[in-house]
Amino acid sequence: MGRPFVHQLRVRYAECDPQNVVFNAHYLAYFDAALTEMWRAAFSGGYRGMVEQGLDMVVAEATCRYRTPATFDDLLDVAIGITSLGTTSMHSVLAVTRGDEPVVDGEMRHVFIDLNRRQKAPIPDWLRAALEPWVLPSGASPRPPASSRRA
Amino acid sequence: MGRPFVHQLRVRYAECDPQNVVFNAHYLAYFDAALTEMWRAAFSGGYRGMVEQGLDMVVAEATCRYRTPATFDDLLDVAIGITSLGTTSMHSVLAVTRGDEPVVDGEMRHVFIDLNRRQKAPIPDWLRAALEPWVLPSGASPRPPASSRRA
Amino acid sequence: MGRPFVHQLRVRYAECDPQNVVFNAHYLAYFDAALTEMWRAAFSGGYRGMVEQGLDMVVAEATCRYRTPATFDDLLDVAIGITSLGTTSMHSVLAVTRGDEPVVDGEMRHVFIDLNRRQKAPIPDWLRAALEPWVLPSGASPRPPASSRRA
Amino acid sequence: MGRPFVHQLRVRYAECDPQNVVFNAHYLAYFDAALTEMWRAAFSGGYRGMVEQGLDMVVAEATCRYRTPATFDDLLDVAIGITSLGTTSMHSVLAVTRGDEPVVDGEMRHVFIDLNRRQKAPIPDWLRAALEPWVLPSGASPRPPASSRRA
């Protein structure tokens, strides 16, 4: 049974706005950075290697729910869990936390594309197998339940 | 009956990624830029004036559905329609188009906050009145239907 | 005799940092946006057209001197003057102003490259001619002298 | 005798442009991120703690010389050496490298400001002492000489 992949990052000054919090758009860039690290953990060559083989992925849909603002110099955990791997698309849930605090919850849908033919491509078996450790059981959250975090 | 507010902008080189398209996160910054222009059109002083009066707004939720990639130097229309003005929150729908082509559809929920008390604030009557021109009739889309655009 | 090319832009919220001013790096993006507009004014097809012909340019050196901070929603003029067009390189001076106030002064050096051969390329005659209107006389500044502005 | 402070970072996809290289402006954000880490290493509380004490710093001048492009997923070392600590200002030299390869060389001048009085502030003795390990001997480079790197 899979569990979320977690990437830790530090909020940069340039990512904070005059409200002194991370500007909302940057979380999508954090999601992308975490996904790149998941790809690196998944197989040799990582995202760059996949693209060199002619396979790429594009974001088809993304949602962010902002819970608590993060601010300059915060250390954030970005957790990603895969909720489904369809024929050509991947659904994932994301949770950005600062220690125990929820910062942003998100969902993304990516579509795989064949770079030569510029059209949708089926997820190859080797990639499906490589992502297996982070495919969540149905209904699971990328964040541990509050009760377990308090334990 | 209201209609969407439209702000036009030009895609900058720095906003495009190695896939040669606008990186997904930047559309949230485009939404924000368009909202600022809507505020300017709505009342004297605009967003900056509202903040000086001690009222601000934060993004509580945002969704983007990516339809067609936009690329460097494209001229984009960012349309915003308000779908509801609650006591302390505003729901809006957004549509980024390049000519007739849909580029990104979005939804946002903003919450108003009192800057002195750092908590939710009711939308004042003067602001509610000022935003009236862009409150869409129920079920309306920020994009005109394809049939009417082709006409 | 040439004079500076001027592009006007509005400071976006996402470009301002917790000091409530434009984060220093963004001025280089403003320079780039202004250069793209100069290219558009220079010849049909603009920067994108030049790239499609196999010619591109890269930044070899850039300097910013920060004079007065700009803040959210400010309307800025970005002026560019070309100070020399060498065989394969272009030197330019830049001045960002808010009304009469100097905000940032800059200098850039670009090098032209042949996209097919991935090496330096001579500036073609047609481009040299097209940029002529903005080649400053020796020693000229992209900002008018303070005395003339006060007049 | 001081030596440069080095911060390592990974190039994000969103920081690369259609030329498939890091967009020139982002190096200034990398400089800022490295400086924040130097501050963290220098004293307890780091940059955020300094600001809470009413002392801040602003960039007065910045220069980048672009040597070799960096690309997506590259692991970069950002080295900073302080070349002078004046009464109210700090000069530094920076070198971004990818392994042995020079990527960008830079110079910055920061000015310290008193946040309450909104004017220049002398660098306090405690900060001067804390930064001592990274004050380079006169004429030193933030990059080791090529000969030593090849050894």
pLDDT digits (tens, 9 = 90+) for C24-47: 999 999 999 999 999 999 999 999
Using a CB-CB cut-off of 8 Å, the residues of chain D touching B23 are 13-14
Exposed/middle/buried for residue C96 (C-beta within 10 Å: 0-12, 13-18, 19+): buried
Using a CB-CB cut-off of 8 Å, the residues of chain A touching B14 are none
Instruction: Check D36 against A47: CB less than 8 A apart.
Output: no
Asked if D91 reaches chain C (Cβ–Cβ under 8 Å), the answer is no
Shortest distance between the Cα of D139 and any Cα of chain A, in A, equals 30
The per-residue pLDDT for range A8-46, each reduced to its tens digit, is 999 999 999 999 999 999 999 999 999 999 999 999 999
Helix (H) or strand (E) holding A92: strand A89-98
Asked if C58 reaches chain B (Cβ–Cβ under 8 Å), the answer is no
Which position has the token pair 């309307």?
A: C75
Exposed/middle/buried for residue B114 (C-beta within 10 Å: 0-12, 13-18, 19+): middle
D14, D20, D25: residue with CB nearest B23: D14
**Mutation test of the interface with chain B: which of C26, C36, C40, choosing the one with the most B Cβ atoms within 10 A?**
C36
Distance of CA A84 to the CA centre of its chain: 13
pLDDT at B137: 87
Please say if the pLDDT value at position B126 is more than 90.
yes
Shortest distance between the Cα of A129 and any Cα of chain C, in A, equals 38
CA torsion A95→B21→A42→D72, rounded to 10°?
-110
Distance, CA of A77 to CA of A79 (rounded, Å): 6
Instruction: Check B16 against D13: CB less than 8 A apart.
Output: no
- For the domain A5-131, what is the CATH superfamily, name and number? Hotdog Thioesterase (3.10.129.10)
**Averaged confidence pLDDT in chain B:** 93
pLDDT at D23: 98
Confidence at C150, pLDDT banded by 50, 70, 90: very low
Average pLDDT of the segment spanning A79-89:
97
Residue B99: other Cβ atoms inside 10 A: 10
Distance, CA of B140 to CA of C81 (rounded, Å): 48
Confidence at C140, pLDDT banded by 50, 70, 90: confident
Residue C33, SS3 per DSSP:
helix
The set of residues, in sequence order, having a beta carbon less than 8 Å from that of A131 and lying 6+ positions away, is A38, A42, A82, A85, A90
Asked if A60 reaches chain D (Cβ–Cβ under 8 Å), the answer is no
Using a CB-CB cut-off of 8 Å, the residues of chain C touching D118 are none
The set of residues, in sequence order, having a beta carbon less than 8 Å from that of B104 and lying 6+ positions away, is B27, B64, B65, B66, B67, B70, B94, B95, B96
Confidence at C149, pLDDT banded by 50, 70, 90: very low
Instruction: Check D33 against A12: CB less than 8 A apart.
Output: yes
The set of residues, in sequence order, having a beta carbon less than 8 Å from that of A22 and lying 6+ positions away, is A11, A15, A16, A69, A70, A71, A74
Shortest distance between the Cα of C28 and any Cα of chain A, in A, equals 14
Diameter over CA atoms, chain B? 51
Shortest distance between the Cα of A61 and any Cα of chain B, in A, equals 4
Please say if the pLDDT value at position D29 is more than 70.
yes
Using a CB-CB cut-off of 8 Å, the residues of chain B touching C115 are none
Domain B5-129 CATH class label: alpha beta
Distance, CA of D92 to CA of D82 (rounded, Å): 4
D12, D32, D47: residue with CB nearest A29: D12
Confidence at A6, pLDDT banded by 50, 70, 90: very high
Average pLDDT of the segment spanning C85-99:
98
> Residue-wise over D44-57: b if at least 16 C-beta within 10 A, else e?
eebbeebbeeebbb
Distance, CA of C66 to CA of C57 (rounded, Å): 25
Residue B32, SS3 per DSSP:
helix
D9 forms beta bridges with D76
pLDDT at A144: 56
Counting Cα atoms < 13 Å in the Cβ hemisphere of A47 gives: 19
Asked if A18 reaches chain C (Cβ–Cβ under 8 Å), the answer is yes
**Mutation test of the interface with chain B: which of A63, A94, A107, choosing the one with the most B Cβ atoms within 10 A?**
A63
The full DSSP string for A63-74 is: EEEE-S---TT-
The full DSSP string for D26-85 is: HHHHHHHHHHHHHHHHHSTTHHHHHHHTTEEEEEEEEEEEE-S---TT-EEEEEEEEEEE
Using a CB-CB cut-off of 8 Å, the residues of chain C touching D26 are 25
Distance, CA of C12 to CA of B47 (rounded, Å): 12
Using a CB-CB cut-off of 8 Å, the residues of chain D touching B72 are 18
Asked if B17 reaches chain D (Cβ–Cβ under 8 Å), the answer is yes
CB B93 within 8 A of CB B53: no
DSSP annotation of C36 reads H
Asked if A118 reaches chain C (Cβ–Cβ under 8 Å), the answer is no
Exposed/middle/buried for residue A112 (C-beta within 10 Å: 0-12, 13-18, 19+): buried
Distance, CA of B81 to CA of B90 (rounded, Å): 11
Distance, CA of D39 to CA of D48 (rounded, Å): 9
**Averaged confidence pLDDT in chain C:** 93
pLDDT at B105: 98
Asked if A120 reaches chain D (Cβ–Cβ under 8 Å), the answer is no
CB D64 within 8 A of CB C62: yes
The set of residues, in sequence order, having a beta carbon less than 8 Å from that of A117 and lying 6+ positions away, is none
C112 forms beta bridges with C57
Count of A-B CB contacts under 8 Å: 54
CB B72 within 8 A of CB B16: yes
Please say if the pLDDT value at position D151 is more than 50.
no
Q: What are phi and psi of C80, to 5 degrees?
A: -125, 130
Asked if A44 reaches chain B (Cβ–Cβ under 8 Å), the answer is no
CB B112 within 8 A of CB B121: yes
Q: What are phi and psi of B9, to 5 degrees?
A: -145, 160
The set of residues, in sequence order, having a beta carbon less than 8 Å from that of B92 and lying 6+ positions away, is B35, B80, B81, B82, B83, B107, B108, B109, B110
Helix (H) or strand (E) holding C96: strand C89-98
Which position has the token pair 């500044």?
A: C141
The per-residue pLDDT for range A93-149, each reduced to its tens digit, is 999 999 999 999 999 999 999 999 989 999 999 999 999 999 998 877 787 554 444
Chain D's closest residue to A11, CA to CA, is D33
pLDDT at A147: 45
CATH 3.10.129.10 applies to domain D5-133: yes
The per-residue pLDDT for range C58-76, each reduced to its tens digit, is 999 999 999 999 999 999 9
Instruction: Check C66 against D61: CB less than 8 A apart.
Output: yes
Chain A's closest residue to B107, CA to CA, is A63
With CA atoms as reference, report the closest residue to C88 among C124, C52, C59: C124
**Mutation test of the interface with chain A: which of D73, D75, D78, choosing the one with the most A Cβ atoms within 10 A?**
D73
> Both tokens of residue D33?
């991120």
The set of residues, in sequence order, having a beta carbon less than 8 Å from that of C62 and lying 6+ positions away, is C28, C31, C106, C107, C108, C109, D24, D63, D64, D66
Instruction: Check B18 against D14: CB less than 8 A apart.
Output: no
Residue B1: other Cβ atoms inside 10 A: 7
Distance, CA of C35 to CA of C57 (rounded, Å): 11
Instruction: Check C16 against A18: CB less than 8 A apart.
Output: yes
Angle (CA) C116 C117 C122, round 5°? 100
Please say if the pLDDT value at position B1 is more than 90.
no
- For the domain C5-135, what is the CATH superfamily, name and number? Hotdog Thioesterase (3.10.129.10)
Confidence at C1, pLDDT banded by 50, 70, 90: low
* Prediction ipTM score: 0.92
CB A109 within 8 A of CB A80: no
Asked if B12 reaches chain D (Cβ–Cβ under 8 Å), the answer is no
